[in-house]
Amino acid sequence: MKNELKIALIQSDLVWENPKQNRINFTKKIEAISEAVDLIVLPEMFTSGFTMNAKGVSETMDGETMRWLKGLALKTNAAITGSLVISENNTFYNRSVFVHPSGKIDTYDKRHTFTLAGEHKVYTAGKTNTIVDFRGWKISLLVCYDLRFPVWARYTQNYDLLIYVANWPKPRINAWDALLKARAIENMSYCIGVNRVGLDNNSYEYPGHSACYDVLGEKLSQIKPNIETTEIITLTKSEIKRYRDKLNFLNDRDNFSLLE
């Protein structure tokens, strides 16, 4: 078990509906990381941008991108996470994958599909949470629009870190900033959000604002908006326990269960 977890947040532009070029671009960014890290976080739909052309960009779980991720995870001895379009059983998913250096893969299908963009008409929503066990840390995987729904992320399982990957547009970026901080505070958990930058082919602008917050809502990252950049942050597990034990806020939370 590691008390410290070193994480690389990659805030990047995306090439529209071009998985091959996006893999090339992210290979360069990952290979440019100059120190050993435990985990690398990529944005939502990092191979394509936020497209409803699922058929045109989808891959399988044994496709080129998954083989590429496994190879990079092994080479860097770091896990890699982000979401991409996956086709499975004649159904499309906006699927977050967590690829361990060992080749093990954990997955989470985006629960809250973005109805404003018609995502619910193309992609099937997930039904379950995913908590990843990695180097002694428990990590909850979530995707973009999930951020607006606190019940889905509520601390009812023993996790240490929430990770949201996103294509969150500029007009609503204040909500992104506020809700990332809120999820950290209310769950007394580290909370990371990695958002893309640039323009997509629908002329939507994405300003980044990727960030990491601690259990008290203090911002730990210094990522500037509107630029492609990689920032490495170090999280300390003992700090979570220290504040949870001292303040005991989670002991007073409401008990509930989620029903379909």
User: What are residue 227's phi and psi, to 5 degrees?
Assistant: -135, 155
Banded pLDDT at 260 (limits 50, 70, 90): low
Catalytic residue among 70, 110, 181, 237: 110
Domains of the chain by residue range: 4-252
Residue 110 falls in the annotated catalytic set: yes
pLDDT at 181: 98
Residue 44 falls in the annotated catalytic set: yes
Q: What is the pLDDT of residues 229-244, one digit of tens each?
A: 999 999 999 999 999 9
Q: How would you class 165 by CB atoms within 10 Å of its CB: exposed for 0-12, middle for 13-18, buried for 19 or more?
A: buried
Q: What is the pLDDT of residues 14-66, one digit of tens each?
A: 999 999 999 999 999 999 999 999 999 999 999 999 999 999 999 999 999 99
Q: Which of 49, 51, 46 is nearest to 23 (CA)?
A: 46
Q: Which of 179, 127, 197, 134 is nearest to 160 (CA)?
A: 134
pLDDT at 259: 63
Catalytic residue among 17, 59, 144, 181: 144
The pTM score is 0.97
Which two tokens mark 122?
């193309």
Give every strand in the sheet of 39-41, ordered side by side: 105-109, 91-99, 79-88, 39-41, 4-11, 229-236
Q: What is the pLDDT of residues 92-120, one digit of tens each?
A: 999 999 999 999 999 999 999 999 999 99
Superfamily per CATH, domain 4-252: Carbon-nitrogen hydrolase (3.60.110.10)
Residue 70 falls in the annotated catalytic set: no
Catalytic residue among 44, 59, 119, 231: 44
Helix (H) or strand (E) run with residue 131 in it: strand 131-134
Q: What is the pLDDT of residues 142-182, one digit of tens each?
A: 999 999 999 999 987 789 999 999 999 999 999 999 999 99
Looking at the chain, list the stretches that DSSP marks H as alpha helix, in order from N- to C-terminal side: 19-31, 54-57, 64-76, 119-122, 150-153, 173-187, 237-247
Helix (H, G, I), strand (E, B) or coil at 199: strand
